[in-house]
Amino acid sequence: MTEEHDGSELCFPQLNTSCRKPVTSLSEAVSLRFLLSCFSVLTVVLNLLVIISISHFRQLHKPTNLLLLSLSVSDFLVGLVFMPGEILRKTSCWFLGDFMCSLYKYLSIVSISASVGNMVLISVDRHVAICDPLHYPTRVTVGRVKLCIFLCWFCSILYSSLFVKDESHQNEKYISCHGECVYHIDYALGVFDIFVSFIVPVTVIIVLYLRVFVVAVSQARTMRSQIKTVKLQHSVTLTSRKSELKAARTLGVLVLVFLICFCPFYCVALVGGNIINTSYGIFVLCLICFNSCLNPVIYALFYPWFRRSVKLIVTLQILQPGSCEANIL
């Protein structure tokens, strides 16, 4: 009886080197699976709507929207790869083998690194638009934004390779049984990662948005004082400035939500140890997943063009000839 019971607790009962199944209560496992599964489906669907919207409609091919497109691609990967992988890692045995484990970890790190890089680019874009509006059209062009996005993803891909370059050696050193997929990061590399992926980007984002906030408040006061005496020929300029301020506010919300969701994760990383495998560690991972799911919701709340494009997508009107030229702004 004892041997049968012990065998039922192993991931691969036929192997002597099999890992034991994760020790979690049934209610905790079901709750975690349900929560992450819902986040995963919503994240994939909502970000796919953003990707289709910005890619399909030519009116949306603007520098800021291209940055949102890049962010949506990274969030899409989080929902498609990171969340299902975490469900398997936390509530079950890893049956997909070492190669799929390495690929999963690599794509997860790429998507999260790209998300951080895209947030920095969005902050720079809003800083130039609000603090130097006269030069914004010449400095922030579609071509330059595409180049920045390419460099962001290229650097994320190269950076992520640091964590998996010695994967086979790490597996032999740290994994003593079959049926698990775990992260093993050297202390020096972990400190470097926190500095590069958290401290520097967050500092840049906060500094840029504090400056944007100060300038935006000043411009809003100026606009209110001018509105009473403005002439007709200046109305277009004022409308443009109001649009830029609204965009800054919307993307400010996006950045704030990003900081709220990502800061706890890196605080856990700073503490180190095995806290990432505790209930709090699982909570901060869910928070990252929630951020990727929440970004498209923010677009839906603040961007009328997103709501219009979703309506055209859902009703399949984008399949009609010339639909890419539709006026949705």
Domain definitions of the chain by residue range: 26-171+183-226+236-325
Cα distance between residue 108 and residue 33, in whole Å: 18
Helices (H), 57-96: 63-77, 83-91
Which letter does DSSP use for residue 254 in this model? H
CA-based nearest residue to 238, from 254, 220, 256, 251: 220
Cα distance between residue 231 and residue 229, in whole Å: 6
- The reported pTM is 0.82
CA 23 → CA 8, 31, 42, 276, 323, distances in Å?
Answer: 13, 15, 28, 15, 53
Tens of each residue's pLDDT in the chain, 329 residues: 344 445 557 777 776 667 777 666 667 667 778 877 888 898 899 999 999 999 999 888 989 899 999 999 999 998 898 888 888 877 777 788 778 888 888 898 899 889 889 989 988 998 888 888 888 888 889 999 999 999 999 999 999 888 777 655 555 555 566 777 776 667 777 778 888 888 888 888 888 888 887 777 776 666 566 555 554 444 545 555 555 556 667 667 777 888 888 788 777 666 655 555 556 667 777 787 788 888 888 877 778 888 889 888 988 888 888 888 888 87
Range 26-171+183-226+236-325 classified under CATH 1.20.1070.10: yes
